[in-house]
Amino acid sequence: MSTWEYAPAPESREIAGLKPTYRPFIGGEFVDGTGEPLKSVNPATEEVLAEVGTASASDVDAAVKAARRAYDKTWRRMPGTERAKYLFRIARLIQERSRELAVLETLDNGKPIKESRDADVPTAAAHFFYHAGWADKLDYAGFGPDPQPLGVAGQIIPWNFPLLMLAWKIAPALATGNTVVLKPAETTPLTALVFAEICQQADLPPGVVNIVPGAGDIGAELVNHAGIDKIAFTGSTEVGKLIQRSVAGTPKRLTLELGGKAANVVFDDAPLDQAVEGIVNGIFYNQGHVCCAGSRLLAQESVVDELLEKLRYRVSTLRLGDPLDKNTDIGAINSAEQLAKIRELTESGVAEGAEQWTSPCPVPERGFFFAPTVFSNVEQSMRIAREEIFGPVLSVLTFRTPAEAVAKANNTPYGLSAGIWTEKGSRILWMANRLRAGVVWANTFNRFDPTAPFGGYQESGFGREGGRTGLEGYLDV
């Protein structure tokens, strides 16, 4: 069956309300950061979107002090019922400004508009709604009769889900009575600074939320600042380890949400067409820039040929291109550096003897794009089976028995997520009990909900975000 030709359906970039300059947000005001300004680039076109003022060490200090004042004078004393109203207001404002945020996120990050519009922004709002509900019920959350906040939280987030990761961090911190200083990623600071406007619109007391754009050194300043009580980090395992070393021996609390190399396990009794949709969602969603991406497909040997045929056909129908086009499935890679990393790891796959298949889709000449790629005949020792590629590249391995599937799935230093595809409920439970992963999806993949705790173990980090369990990381319990 051939695919339909779609006419272009671009979303208007005017909706983003792009401004020529953005500035750090400290103590309830936008201020001139004293760091070197950075330029945020649209990865789909390589054009400069805006100049962003960055924080220096002294700005980080000012932000931490503003957060401390707000914590002592206002936020920790405020009844949970009142804090809840602010969170609820923020959630409503995210909804009201959702089109603007979605377009801005797509311009700054390169992700398809259908994802920023239908997933990132609504889920960010959902996190604030959900945590608004907890703010006045902490006494009944199972952490004792009167659980106390930690104080000032330093939060560092990556570029793959800029607004959503901000919501995962800020919503639980505020609901539990903490104040925050957040550093967005260098390549995607814009929606965080529009979020700062939303804090002003919501009349959030000054200093409760502070946003300090900057590079990794500003993240390190935040980590090492003596006025910080808790660090929450999402990003690479490498930087996570650095942060853990810096925090060791201090009273600072720490939660780390790091990389992954998740196994998506398909048994021969699985409905294959449905599994193909889950595999595609698992690895090609957000260009594969997903810490819990199903980047290792483990297919039962008896169905691997049929599965690969269906998968290649389906992947060849994915539309790659302008992220603002509503029909686009695969947008741009976030940066030239990330594209180079994906290329290097892909080349290593070929050099080590795996069989590469790449979608024949047209690839724009300008911008950072990488066509969806599937490697078969992958051995466990190959780098593409072990390392996080963080791009639209799937490695396919095979197994014969459930025990072999478990052994191969667990053969990784990570432990963030896993997927199981089978029609047998008993097999799902048997597998889920044995897979060493923080999240196990059955006959689905990449499902996110504020009520469900998310996090990993081993080199994927520790601590949970979301759900009742996620509150624990911001309470003195």
Q: Which CB sits closer to ligand NDP, 35 or 419?
A: 35
Check binding of 234 to ligand NDP (CB under 6 A).
yes
Q: Which CB sits closer to ligand NDP, 159 or 474?
A: 159
Stretch that binds ligand NDP, among 151-159, 190-198, 280-288, 357-365 (CB under 6 A): 151-159
Instruction: Report the distance separating Cα 438 and Cα 455, nearest Å.
Output: 5
Instruction: Report the distance separating Cα 101 and Cα 127, nearest Å.
Output: 16
CA geometry: angle 6, 9, 11, nearest 5 deg: 160
Stretch that binds ligand NDP, among 95-103, 214-222, 346-354, 373-381 (CB under 6 A): 214-222
Catalytic option among 257, 459, 465, 472: 257
Check binding of 242 to ligand NDP (CB under 6 A).
yes
**Interface pattern 328-367 for ligand NDP (x via CB under 6 A):** ----------x--x--------------------------
**The only residue of 220, 299, 315, 378 in contact with ligand NDP, by rule CB under 6 A:** 220
Check binding of 386 to ligand NDP (CB under 6 A).
no
Stretch that binds ligand NDP, among 92-100, 212-220, 307-315, 372-380 (CB under 6 A): 212-220
Check binding of 56 to ligand NDP (CB under 6 A).
no
**Subset of residues 155 to 174 that bind ligand NDP, contact rule: CB under 6 A:** 156-160
361 is catalytic: no
Stretch that binds ligand NDP, among 29-37, 195-203, 236-244, 344-352 (CB under 6 A): 236-244
* Count of residues in contact with ligand NDP, rule CB under 6 A: 26
Query: Among all residues, whose Cβ is closest to ligand NDP?
Result: 219
**The only residue of 167, 199, 291, 382 in contact with ligand NDP, by rule CB under 6 A:** 291
Q: Which residues contact 354 (CB under 8 A, 6 or more apart)?
A: 375, 376, 377, 378, 379, 382, 384, 395
Check binding of 57 to ligand NDP (CB under 6 A).
no
292 is catalytic: no
Alpha helix locations (H) across 263-332?
272-284, 304-316
Q: Which two tokens stand for residue 379?
A: 């051995």
Q: How near is the Cβ of 362 to ligand NDP at its closest, in Å? A: 25
Q: How near is the Cβ of 375 to ligand NDP at its closest, in Å? A: 17
Q: How near is the Cβ of 338 to ligand NDP at its closest, in Å? A: 6
Check binding of 101 to ligand NDP (CB under 6 A).
no
Check binding of 183 to ligand NDP (CB under 6 A).
yes
**The only residue of 64, 185, 315, 435 in contact with ligand NDP, by rule CB under 6 A:** 185
Check binding of 235 to ligand NDP (CB under 6 A).
yes
Q: What single-letter DSSP state applies at residue 227?
A: T
Q: Which residues contact 403 (CB under 8 A, 6 or more apart)?
A: none
> CA torsion angle for 461, 222, 172, 335 (degrees, to 10)?
-70
Sheet-wide strand order for 48-52:
21-22, 48-52, 38-41
Q: How near is the Cβ of 297 to ligand NDP at its closest, in Å? A: 18
Instruction: Report the distance separating Cα 409 and Cα 31, nearest Å.
Output: 48
Catalytic option among 291, 292, 387, 465: 291
Q: Among 75, 257, 324, which Cα is nearest to 179's?
A: 75
Q: Which CB sits closer to ligand NDP, 390 or 441?
A: 390
Distances (CA, A) of 274 to 2, 41, 235, 373, 422: 19, 37, 31, 20, 10
Q: What single-letter DSSP state applies at residue 95?
A: H
Query: Are the C-beta atoms of 99 and 15 separated by less than 8 Å?
Result: yes
Q: Which two tokens stand for residue 210?
A: 């502070």
Instruction: Report the distance separating Cα 207 and Cα 193, nearest Å.
Output: 14
**Subset of residues 391 to 450 that bind ligand NDP, contact rule: CB under 6 A:** none
Q: Which CB sits closer to ligand NDP, 244 or 316?
A: 244
Q: Using the CB atoms, write b or e for 336-374: b if 16+ within 10 Å.
A: eebbebbeebbeebeeeebeebbbebeeeeebbbbbbbb
What one-character-per-residue DSSP string does 100-159 give?
HHHHHHHHHH---HHHIIIIIHHHHHHHHHHHHHHTT-GGGTTS-SSPPB-SEEEEE--S
- 203: exposed, middle or buried (C-beta count within 10 Å: 0-12, 13-18, 19+)? exposed
Q: Which CB sits closer to ligand NDP, 235 or 470?
A: 235
Instruction: Report the distance separating Cα 260 and Cα 437, nearest Å.
Output: 9
Q: How near is the Cβ of 246 to ligand NDP at its closest, in Å? A: 8
Q: Which CB sits closer to ligand NDP, 127 or 183?
A: 183
Check binding of 223 to ligand NDP (CB under 6 A).
yes
Q: Among 12, 15, 40, 18, which Cα is nearest to 334's?
A: 40
**Subset of residues 244 to 263 that bind ligand NDP, contact rule: CB under 6 A:** 258-259
Query: Which residues of the shown chain bind ligand NDP in the complex (CB under 6 A)?
Result: 156-160, 183, 185-186, 215-216, 219-220, 223, 234-236, 239, 242-243, 258-259, 291, 338, 341, 388, 390
Catalytic annotation, residues? 257, 291
